[in-house]
Amino acid sequence: MEILCTRCIITECVFVFLSSATNIARSGEASQSSDYPIQPIGYAKKAIDGVIDTDWYHGFCTHTNQDPSPWWKVDLKQKYKVNVVVVTGRTDGSMGRMMGAEVRIGNSPDNNNPVCGKVTQVSDPKTIFCCNGMEGQYVSVVIPGRTEFLHLCEVEVYSDVVAQENHVCW
Ligand SMILES: [Ca+2]
């Protein structure tokens, strides 16, 4: 059993465990603001191909052009209560472009949805977002207010929390 989320509110921590959870992004449909035209083409579907290879040149990551507020999204085809989103960026360089990227969840297909969280560190390519049951059909990654490239090696979405335990922090 893997601990994916730890939320601490004042003195109480909630650990979210996922066990044999299904990554519902895999069966969704991905799109993005544009496709960077250099090989290997970073099509949007590469963030839901199930391959977490963080070297962009291996061909398993997405890549937009340098767009104003670039975005990527997955249409989950129905509404889910989303508990965890795991975003994995690249490690072969340019990870700094991810800084400030927001994970948004909701029912608006234009990415204008509530924010679950944002990327605040780029030393680790993986950021785990605890979204606490935010409801939506669309999960987006958006870099707001900046003209930037957006590349993602994998985006995982989990809605089924198997167990929760409450602990006191010390
Ligand atoms: Ca991938």
For the chain, list the domains and their CATH numbers: 22-160 (2.60.120.260)
Q: How far is the CA of 170 from the centre of ligand 1 (A)?
A: 38
Q: 32 exposed, middle or buried (CB, 10 Å; 0-12, 13-18, 19+)?
A: buried
35-54 average pLDDT score: 96
d(CA 95, CA 143): 13
What is this structure's pTM?
A: 0.86
Of the listed ranges 14-18, 28-32, 140-144, the least confidently predicted one is 14-18
| Among 67-81, 115-129, 152-166, the range of highest mean pLDDT | 67-81
Q: How far is the CA of 156 from the centre of ligand 1 (A)?
A: 10
Q: How far is the CA of 32 from the centre of ligand 1 (A)?
A: 14
Q: How far is the CA of 100 from the centre of ligand 1 (A)?
A: 21
Q: How far is the CA of 12 from the centre of ligand 1 (A)?
A: 35
| Contact of 113 with 106, CB cutoff 8 Å | yes
Would you call the peptide bond into 40 cis, given omega within 30 degrees of 0 as the criterion?
A: yes
At 130, the pLDDT band (50, 70, 90 cuts) reads confident
User: What is the predicted pLDDT for the residue at 162?
Assistant: 46
| Contact of 130 with 7, CB cutoff 8 Å | yes
Of the listed ranges 95-109, 118-132, 141-155, the least confidently predicted one is 118-132
Position 5 pLDDT exceeds 80: no
At 132, the pLDDT band (50, 70, 90 cuts) reads confident
Bigger pLDDT: 133 or 34? 34
Average model confidence (pLDDT) across the chain:
87
Structure tokens at 125: 């390519």
d(CA 43, CA 30): 9
Position 170 pLDDT exceeds 50: no
For ligand 1, a single-atom ion, the residues with CB < 5 A are 46, 49, 51, 60, 154
Position 67 pLDDT exceeds 80: yes
Q: How far is the CA of 165 from the centre of ligand 1 (A)?
A: 31
Q: How far is the CA of 13 from the centre of ligand 1 (A)?
A: 32
Position 164 pLDDT exceeds 60: no
Give me the torsion for CA of 36, 37, 38, 39, rounded to 10°: 100
Q: How many CA atoms lie within 13 A of 29 on its CB side?
A: 5
Of the listed ranges 73-77, 109-113, 123-127, the least confidently predicted one is 123-127
